[in-house]
Structure 1
Amino acid sequence: MVSELRALYDKQGFVVVPGLISDEEQKELREACDRVIALTREGKWPHRRTVGKQFPPFGDDNPDSWGVQHVMHPDLGEPAFARWYTSQPLSDVVKQLLECGDEDLEMELFNLLINPLGHSFALRWHRDDVGEKASEEEEREALQKWHFGVQWNTALYRDSCLYVVPGSHRIPRTTEQRKHSETMEPPTDPLAMPGAVQLTLQPGETVFYNSNILHCATYSSAQRRATLHANMGNVKGGATRARNVLQHGLTWMKGDTFREGLTEKGKAMLDRLIAMQEKAGDVGYSLAG
């Protein structure tokens, strides 16, 4: 039987779930975020999302950052991130949404979204692994494959950055929606996109979403942000998610130090990711800009 949460996720393309972080975990994660954000802004952590670049490779052309990549990396020395990523309350929701068991869960990405310091900006409307110029038929074919992974944002502070078009994970864009999503230009008003809604998360709330839903985001330099941004896969999807995940560069995850810091459950999830990586070969990049 399909759970109510899964049914709502299938219909909307997203669901908001509270309470996946305890008060103690929230304090621990906020402190860990403060440390890795400071390292990134001081130029001591090179794996970051740079202002002026929306998608990987992010490069290093701008000193300002809107994200921190690879927060589970052992060189950061912050075990709280891996503990939470492999925690039971979180994986229980993922299993409902992907309709799978612990034995199917595949470790993917865990990054951090932060506020830039220099100026506010927006990311353009997009689907994570479908190009902006894809034809209606190409789009329809891609959307039919995107059922083996889920992405989420967990807010550690109030977060109103994300905009989505509910239900757009199932159908190609309309002519009017294409006008708002075929260029490299970010929106001046995200709500001008037909069907768009703004999602507001309170501290501790998580929005799980199909990353091929039409979505964009705004980044305010005046509003503090530390939002845990991650995804997880179902190994039954094979290589369907390889490009979207591996384009971020995950060779460090093969190291002994990272592996030794994981629980047995985490090690099994990692093994499934490495198996996908070894089969996929050169995956390239999903999007430009």
Structure 2
Amino acid sequence: MSTSIKDTYDRQGFVVVPGLIPPHDFLKLQEASDAAVNRTRKGSWPYRRTVGKQFPPFDNDNPDSWGVQHVMHPDLGESAIVFSKWYTSDDLTRVCAELLQCEEKDLQLELFNLLINPLEHSFALRWHRDDVKENALSEEEQTALNKWHTGVRNLALYEDSCLYVVPGSHRVPRTPAQRAHSCTLDPPDHPMDMPGAILLTLKPGETVFYNSNILHCASYDHTVKRATLHACTGDARYGAARGRNILQHGLSWVNDERFRDQLTLKGKRMLDLLLELQKNSSADEAGYSLDG
């Protein structure tokens, strides 16, 4: 890890790192993704993100899906094992620890989902920060941004041109012009109308690490295949700050002994930190980060 990558992450709010998926693991991840997506499309996997609902809690009101939830769940069988090995792989956790400026022993197991293309409907997410309400005042935004440095999201796999971000917006409140494009629950018709926005295209095998409270949105073209690994890892030293954003997705299944059994020793340590967060938090009391 070069200093420039950490510096880039701090300055931009994101950094793209190639080569974190070895060639022999790449095909396994693609096959595991295809299996999970096929189960979801056939209706035999209940944990999904449905078209028409941008944020949790997700429902089953639409048969079309834009995401597969909980891909390390032991009920996914061999696919879950493949995903778990990648999530706890040395290359990935090394980068997470470097960007979070913590030891690997501090890394907390959190979420792992797949972002996929809907089959029948193109779909978009509104401009948002993952744990700041759209109507937050500038002072509220700044308070949240000052403490939201304890986790990192990452994506990788197929070529992906769905993610729009505003570089540097993880550090400062929205300008009045940016607020005008992000103060409603409606996704944008033209994401590039957002001042400062760029489209971030990932090539196969590239991983983008980004601060979850960077201003971002996404647009899903139902005609273009997408199966993007979408995971996040936290620094357990500040775990309480991430409780709502993580536990709102419903993670009771991580208490299943089958899940523990499929993890490496490192994975078990990461899981124990998540279980401690669960013990000291209540998703029902905390509610949900965003509406829509």
TM-score (norm 2): 0.97
1:288 matches 2:291: yes
* Deviation string, structure 1 residues 102-124 (Cα, Å, up to 9, x no partner): 11000000000000001112110
Where in structure 2 are the equivalents of 1:1-289 lying within 5 Å? 3-77=3-77, 78=79, 79-154=81-156, 156-281=157-282, 282-289=285-292
Shift of 1:4: 1.9
Shift of 1:283: 2.0
Amino acid at match of 1:19: G
Amino acid at match of 1:189: H
Shift of 1:5: 1.4
* 5+ residue gaps, structure 1: none
Shift of 1:238: 3.0
Shift of 1:204: 0.5
User: Is the contact made by 1:64 and 1:117 (CA closer than 8 Å) also made in structure 2?
Assistant: yes
SS at match of 1:128: coil
User: Is the contact made by 1:3 and 1:96 (CA closer than 8 Å) also made in structure 2?
Assistant: no
SS at match of 2:219: strand
CA distance, structure 1, for counterparts of residue 158 and residue 7 of structure 2: 28
CA distance, structure 2, for counterparts of residue 28 and residue 16 of structure 1: 22
* Deviation string, structure 1 residues 181-229 (Cα, Å, up to 9, x no partner): 0001111110000000000000010110001000000000110001000
Shift of 1:236: 1.2
CA distance, structure 2, for counterparts of residue 16 and residue 180 of structure 1: 26
SS at match of 1:182: coil
User: Is the contact made by 1:82 and 1:262 (CA closer than 8 Å) also made in structure 2?
Assistant: yes
* 5+ residue gaps, structure 2: none
RMSD value, Cα? 1.1
SS at match of 1:228: strand
Shift of 1:241: 0.4
Shift of 1:150: 0.3
SS at match of 2:96: helix
Q: What percentage of aligned pairs have identical amino acids?
A: 62
CA distance, structure 1, for counterparts of residue 174 and residue 149 of structure 2: 18
Structure 1 runs (4+) greater than 6 angstroms displaced: none
CA distance, structure 1, for counterparts of residue 110 and residue 139 of structure 2: 28
Q: Size of the alignment, in residue pairs?
A: 288
TM-score (norm 1): 0.98
Shift of 1:169: 0.2
